Structure 1
Amino acid sequence: MNTFTNPVLSGCYADPSFCRVGEDYYLVTSSFEYFPGVPIFHSKDLVNWHQIGHVLDRPSQLNLDGTPCSRGIYAPTIRYHEGVFYMITTFVVSATGARRNFYVTAENPSGPWSDPVWLVDAPGIDPSLFFDGDGKVYFTANRVPPAGQQYPKHMEIYMQELDLQSGRLTGPKYSLWDGALKQIHAQEAPHLYKIDGLYYLLIAEGGTGFTHSVTIARSEVLTGPYEVCKMNPILTHRHLGQQAPIVNVGHADIVQTQHGEWWMVCLGSRPRGGYYRNMGRETFLVPFVWEEGWPVVNPGKGIVELEMARPSLAEHRWAAPPACDHFDSPELAPQWNFLRTPRGDYWSLTERPGHLRLKLKADTVMAEQNPSFVGRRQQHHDFAVRTVLEFRPQSPAQAAGLVLLQNDAFQYRMEWRGGTEGGSEICLVRRSGGTDELLASAMVAADKLYLKTEVYGQHFSFYYGTQSERWHTLLEGADGRILSTDVAGGFSGTYIGLYASSNGQPAAGYADFDYFEYTRL
């Protein structure tokens, strides 16, 4: 085929950064409060990406205890230099707390990656590393301008030399640029490049929502002054309106292929049912060319399209992951995540082979805790999920089942729990604004329960059964817009997860999930 379909990574894969090593490409994205952190992907053709693991896959690298939703790991950058991969990122500790920058290294992008090197006196977010031709290494991020902010969220990009031997920043901090679009806030996501003897500084402006954009400046001298491109922003979709198929495009990184072509990855969202973005921000790919020393993105159109001409690289497809995970492996597949760093022995793939066992914990998905939860991203507007579990709830506080999770305050839970009059029941709970509402329930008498969710855009339907493929309707037509970041807030996308909880009570039970199937409709 001569075209490809955007996004190249569907679902909440925000803030992409990539690099080329010979004929191989590696890409990382944000992971927020989910563990393991920073998924890493490999590609041969820039279109087909295969997850090879996570950069932060050990508790010693990433302590997310108490991290609020949509905080945690922001905007990683991946770079390669002299046989070593570098990933640098920001750990946003809390809604109002510290932003701490660190980097890790590896000789193999699949890992293991080192423990973090924390940078002292390195304010700001969205850090990047630049390796200059003289052997020096530089750290860039954003910060409040030393002279003060001239308007709300006015930031500047700054730079400081990094001593890799000591892991410390050294020398003066250089103010590089405070953006091209005055009064447009949130200058961030800096990436430095040296191309044809000039230094180019690529950044994002306008925040991560509808006014997001990509701008660029250049200089003959690394420390500036930087000349602003008169064509800025070189990429944005804000002029297309909120009904465009792709919105809030920004936060970019660029690479040149081994055949000389230039390509950009950026984030964007695909709204559905109005300006509602349940999948958060996804990873898109778009070409550009150079004209008079400046990049022109998707010449003749200037936007990211859902279908675009492929790179001039040999197509390289990876084996498609199975739609159904039967939990036969001794390790979880890389698409699975925990909520925050997993603490305690609350899950197992070996205690009952062929099943995912989730043990009851007092922690819940309704609080900023570490619940007994294993989830994966929603990746399509129209999809279906099926699972089957064995569970023996002993009280109404004991629950296990399926959750569609935006954050602790906005979610749908289809949970099997103990009945108030004995027995057990299947309940559908909508949590909106931190308040639970029971939408439907039915008593069940079984040792095994099948659960299914079918989603078409913002139309959510829930089914259950005590026998395979014999479904009873719990509720059809629930409103999925509560799972959009435009209702729920935050930066992440919807997760679909399996969970078990005793809701604040001590308990020794567990739920066994035989499989989890995710299919595009």
Structure 2
Amino acid sequence: MARYRNPVLAGCHPDPGVCRFGDEFVLVTSSFEYLPGLPVHVSRDLVEWQQVGHAIERPGQLDLAGLESSRGLFAPSVRVIGDRLVVVCTVVGPDDGSWPGRTGHFAVTATDARGPWSDPVWIDGVGGIDPCLTVDGDRLWLTGTRPAADARWAGQTDVWLVELDPTTFQPLGVPTVIWGGAMIGAVWAEGPRILSRPGGGWMLLAAEGGTAGEHAVCVAYGDELTGPYVSDPGNPRLSHRELGRRGEFAAVGHADLVQDATGAWWATVLATRPVAAGDGGVREGLLGRETCLVPVEWEDGRPLFAPGVGRVQREVSTAGGGAPPAAAPLVVAGFGAGALDLAWTGVGRHPVEFAELEADGVLTLRGGGEPAEVGPRSFLGRRLPGERVDVSVTIRVPPGSAGRGGLLLRVSERALLELSVDAGGVVQCLRLTPGERSVLATGSASGSGEARLELSIDGLGGRASVDGALLTEVDLTELAPEAGRDFVGAWVGPIAVGPPSEVVTASDFRLVVRP
């Protein structure tokens, strides 16, 4: 692990929680409205990660139907309790409470990262978000955050702690506030973790500033797990906030710490990659928040993130070596071998509810709702894995069908690009951004109801092509996630729109990340 490149998990993999379980590291990230949810990755070296499943892996385990984008499964953490992995997470609904589904904290468990994972055990009587477990001998504790009860400024947030019954995961008392932020005026303390501190005592690790340009990693120390906690005088311990959008990474925060078998410490953090916009400015790209890795050392009992550098770097050398070798281009060909591969997800419902992969590799999609509406949509998507990507698929819409099929680039129901064909061979490229719906171009497929659709993405621009011919240039700037509006980056994949009784087929899917 002397040389590696960030991000170690490209594409929308925010809020990473990590632990060591036997000979493997296990990492879980947020997935919001997508199902299966909470992707589970394993690694032997913290750099090369393999997705092995999802903590929310099957229909009936958890219901997210009807949720808007950037709601759902927020900020999981993963810890080892005895011989089990335990993931705790929060289901977040709309602010007005109008969603009828179950919200709040829950735990799921497994004896192997590959599953099976248990049904959720709901943790009653505890509000807020971003839960994390801490084991202290035979006692189990849960920490999280919530808006301050008597807030003195907007965004003031409290970190709380409560003991849980280690068998039932139910609170044994009332949550107690243990920290109110790094300083007066600090906002949005998030993702708290309480960790045993080398040399004795405890360290509270938390994000602050909101998960955008002011994001930061802060720490506080306590002699007892229950506090009191005193902020590190050097907070924040890691941030790119003073770089604005001029660094390779921005919005750095939401750290978790893990120790490897040699005794070395590492931190997983989330970060975004700013890209050039068409107006000459710089803004967040389509990928959203990705998972990065930084080494951690201890000096006078305090953590040094990326020691000697204090930055999340694109290329990291931890043992004096040179730059890592160039990464091989990522190529995804097809939908899976015999079954959908683990990267494919649906919006608010599992792919098995609307998609079927045939033995010949052809995907059948039953019709679903409009991609701009909140409802049972038939979108089979996967995270956009790079800033420069070519993605293509052959879509066939049966004669006489009232529906359409296509390729969808989706950030939310308010921000998307659709390239689609109907049964008559009419092709359209539609862009939806907050406050605007634009048909950018129309055309005709070379065959009736069948077309090879391709999106070529380069940062915040791109091209839409049909049957090998350019249809239109596209500006994707307004699709990029906005702070406070979108917590989710872009997904891409085939979609079917129309009555559920009708089907669209997709074949020869191909995705290539260009260097």
- Among candidates 496, 499, 502, match of residue 500 of structure 1: 496
- 1:130 maps to amino acid: T
Number of the residue aligned with 2:53: 53
- SS of the residue 2:168 aligns to: coil
Number of the residue aligned with 1:411: 416
Moved over 6 A (4+): 319-322
Asked if the contact 1:324/1:515 (under 8 Å) is kept, the reply is no
Shift of 1:344: 8.0
| 1:353 is aligned to 2:360 | yes
Q: How many angstroms apart in 1 are the aligned matches of 2:262 and 2:144?
A: 31
The 5-angstrom pairing of residues 99-498 of structure 1 reads: 99-133=103-137, 135-146=138-149, 148-195=150-197, 196-273=199-276, 274-310=282-318, 323-327=331-335, 329-342=337-350, 345-350=353-358, 353-361=360-368, 363-392=369-398, 394=400, 398-418=403-423, 423-433=424-434, 435-447=436-448, 448-465=450-467, 471-476=468-473, 478-486=474-482, 489-498=485-494
The alignment's TM-score, normalised by the length of structure 2, stands at 0.92
Q: How many angstroms apart in 2 are the aligned matches of 1:181 and 1:305?
A: 27
- 2:506 maps to amino acid: F
The 5-angstrom pairing of residues 4-23 of structure 1 reads: 4-23=4-23
- SS of the residue 2:171 aligns to: strand
- 1:200 maps to amino acid: M
Number of the residue aligned with 2:81: 81
- 2:415 maps to amino acid: F
Q: How many angstroms apart in 1 are the aligned matches of 2:153 and 2:53?
A: 41
- SS of the residue 1:239 aligns to: helix
Q: How many angstroms apart in 1 are the aligned matches of 2:422 and 2:397?
A: 9
> Kindly, what percent of the aligned residue pairs are identical?
34
For these two proteins, the number of residue pairs brought into alignment is 498
- 1:355 maps to amino acid: V
Asked if the contact 2:351/2:380 (under 8 Å) is kept, the reply is no
- 1:391 maps to amino acid: V
Question: For residues 235-258 of structure 1, what are the alpha-carbon distances to aligned partners after superposition, in whole Å with 9 as ceiling and x for unaligned?
Answer: 110011222210000000001111
- SS of the residue 2:54 aligns to: strand
| 1:514 is aligned to 2:510 | no
Question: For residues 447-499 of structure 1, what are the alpha-carbon distances to aligned partners after superposition, in whole Å with 9 as ceiling and x for unaligned?
Answer: 5311111111122101111xxxxx111012x1111221138931100111201
Shift of 1:151: 0.6
Q: How many angstroms apart in 2 are the aligned matches of 1:310 and 1:41?
A: 23
- 1:161 maps to amino acid: E
Q: How many angstroms apart in 1 are the aligned matches of 2:350 and 2:261?
A: 41
Asked if the contact 1:137/1:162 (under 8 Å) is kept, the reply is yes
Asked if the contact 2:87/2:107 (under 8 Å) is kept, the reply is yes
After superposition, the Cα gap between the structure-2 partners of 1:166 and 1:434, relative to the gap in structure 1 and judged at 3 Å, is same
Asked if the contact 2:205/2:219 (under 8 Å) is kept, the reply is yes
Q: How many angstroms apart in 1 are the aligned matches of 2:330 and 2:254?
A: 31
Q: How many angstroms apart in 1 are the aligned matches of 2:64 and 2:103?
A: 13
Asked if the contact 2:390/2:455 (under 8 Å) is kept, the reply is yes
Q: How many angstroms apart in 1 are the aligned matches of 2:85 and 2:54?
A: 13
Question: For residues 134-174 of structure 1, what are the alpha-carbon distances to aligned partners after superposition, in whole Å with 9 as ceiling and x for unaligned?
Answer: x100011112334x111111111111110022331012422
Asked if the contact 1:459/1:479 (under 8 Å) is kept, the reply is yes
Shift of 1:277: 2.5
Q: How many angstroms apart in 1 are the aligned matches of 2:380 and 2:329?
A: 18
| Unmatched runs of 5 consecutive residues or more in structure 2 | 277-281
- SS of the residue 2:482 aligns to: helix
- SS of the residue 2:52 aligns to: strand
Q: How many angstroms apart in 2 are the aligned matches of 1:354 and 1:424?
A: 23
- 1:356 maps to amino acid: L
Shift of 1:446: 1.2
- 1:271 maps to amino acid: P
Shift of 1:386: 1.3
The alignment's TM-score, normalised by the length of structure 1, stands at 0.91
Shift of 1:345: 4.4
Q: How many angstroms apart in 1 are the aligned matches of 2:17 and 2:500?
A: 43
Asked if the contact 2:286/2:459 (under 8 Å) is kept, the reply is no
Asked if the contact 1:130/1:193 (under 8 Å) is kept, the reply is yes
After superposition, the Cα gap between the structure-2 partners of 1:343 and 1:450, relative to the gap in structure 1 and judged at 3 Å, is closer
Asked if the contact 1:71/1:95 (under 8 Å) is kept, the reply is no
Q: How many angstroms apart in 2 are the aligned matches of 1:384 and 1:484?
A: 18
- SS of the residue 1:171 aligns to: coil
In angstroms, what is the RMSD of aligned CA positions? 2.2
- SS of the residue 2:405 aligns to: strand
| Unmatched runs of 5 consecutive residues or more in structure 1 | 466-470
Asked if the contact 2:154/2:187 (under 8 Å) is kept, the reply is yes
After superposition, the Cα gap between the structure-2 partners of 1:68 and 1:20, relative to the gap in structure 1 and judged at 3 Å, is same
Asked if the contact 1:197/1:220 (under 8 Å) is kept, the reply is yes
Q: How many angstroms apart in 2 are the aligned matches of 1:167 and 1:507?
A: 40
Q: How many angstroms apart in 1 are the aligned matches of 2:291 and 2:399?
A: 41
After superposition, the Cα gap between the structure-2 partners of 1:264 and 1:324, relative to the gap in structure 1 and judged at 3 Å, is closer
Asked if the contact 1:5/1:306 (under 8 Å) is kept, the reply is yes
- SS of the residue 1:272 aligns to: strand
After superposition, the Cα gap between the structure-2 partners of 1:69 and 1:214, relative to the gap in structure 1 and judged at 3 Å, is same
Asked if the contact 1:271/1:278 (under 8 Å) is kept, the reply is no
- SS of the residue 2:297 aligns to: strand
After superposition, the Cα gap between the structure-2 partners of 1:488 and 1:381, relative to the gap in structure 1 and judged at 3 Å, is farther
Question: For residues 206-256 of structure 1, what are the alpha-carbon distances to aligned partners after superposition, in whole Å with 9 as ceiling and x for unaligned?
Answer: 000100011001111121111211111001100112222100000000011
| 1:39 is aligned to 2:34 | no
Q: How many angstroms apart in 2 are the aligned matches of 1:440 and 1:507?
A: 27
Shift of 1:60: 2.2
Shift of 1:187: 1.0
Shift of 1:428: 0.7
Shift of 1:408: 0.6
- SS of the residue 2:418 aligns to: strand
Asked if the contact 1:410/1:434 (under 8 Å) is kept, the reply is no
Shift of 1:368: 1.2
Shift of 1:329: 3.0
Shift of 1:382: 0.7
